[in-house]
Amino acid sequence: MNPQIAGNPPVATPYFFYGLAAIMIIGGILVITRKNAVHSALALITTLLAQAALYLMLYAPFVAGVQIILYAGGIMVLFLFVIMLISIERAEKERQFNKQWLVGIAAAAALGGLFITVYTATTKGRVLFPEGRTSYVDMQNTQGIANLLFDQHGGTYMFAFEIASLLLLVAIIGAVVMAKKRI
């Protein structure tokens, strides 16, 4: 099927994409530049919520919900609790960037150059990645994901799902052991 066929109209105008992208970039810059770790966490939450909205634009409502509940609601609360446990007053007065920041910026610039090279590379006059708008797909999104994860006949990722539960168990034990005063 041709990926560039015009399907139904997009769920939001392109201006929403650019607005959300701007929110995400500004939030990301604030995350890595703020002195106070709490401010960084709040900027990161803003970025995550804008990304959830982008998931909705990509017709992925289940991933958007998981993003809000698990990331913005779970992981970031964990971060904020840990920030409260450790003292941030002294860390705010200290030097914020380490001595090899110049090397770090150079490495990131090299990586950015790699991204630009890949994204602008052409084969037979076409870029490697699709440029056109993808067509609208009409399906129960959550049901489709559940079919891939749980279906006993065609559940492609059932084994990976079980392994993920094992990973979470190991992470729980690891976190408890690490945070315990005496084992």
Q: Return the residues of window 40-79 that contact another protein according to CB under 8 A.
A: 40-41, 44, 47-48, 51, 54-55, 57-60, 62-63, 66-67, 70-71, 74-75, 78-79
By CB under 8 A, the residues from 12 to 41 that bind another protein are 13-14, 17, 21, 24-25, 28-29, 31-32, 34, 37, 40-41
DSSP-derived 3-state class of residue 127: strand
CB atoms within 10 A of CB 142: 13
Tell me which residue of 29, 15, 22 sits closest to 57, measured CA to CA.
15
Q: Residue 54: what residue type? A: L
Q: How far is the CB of 172 from another protein (least distance, A)?
A: 7
What distance in Å separates the CA atoms of residue 59 and residue 138, rounded to the nearest whole number? 9
Tell me which of 68, 93, 101, 121 binds another protein, using CB under 8 A. 101
Residue 60 or residue 124: which is nearer to another protein going by CB?
A: 60
Q: How far is the CB of 37 from another protein (least distance, A)?
A: 5
Residues 12, 144 contacting (CB under 8 angstroms): no
Angle at 51 between CA 63 and CA 15, to 5 degrees: 120
Q: How far is the CB of 116 from another protein (least distance, A)?
A: 8
How far, in whole angstroms, is CA 92 from its chain's centroid?
A: 27
Tokens 């990304």 belong to 51
* Residue 127 sits in the site that holds another protein (CB under 8 A): yes
Q: How far is the CB of 106 from another protein (least distance, A)?
A: 9
By CB under 8 A, the residues from 133 to 172 that bind another protein are 133-135, 137-139, 141, 144-145, 147-149, 156-157, 160, 164, 167-168, 170-172
User: Would you state the structure tokens that stand for residue 145, as one six-digit string?
Assistant: 């994901």
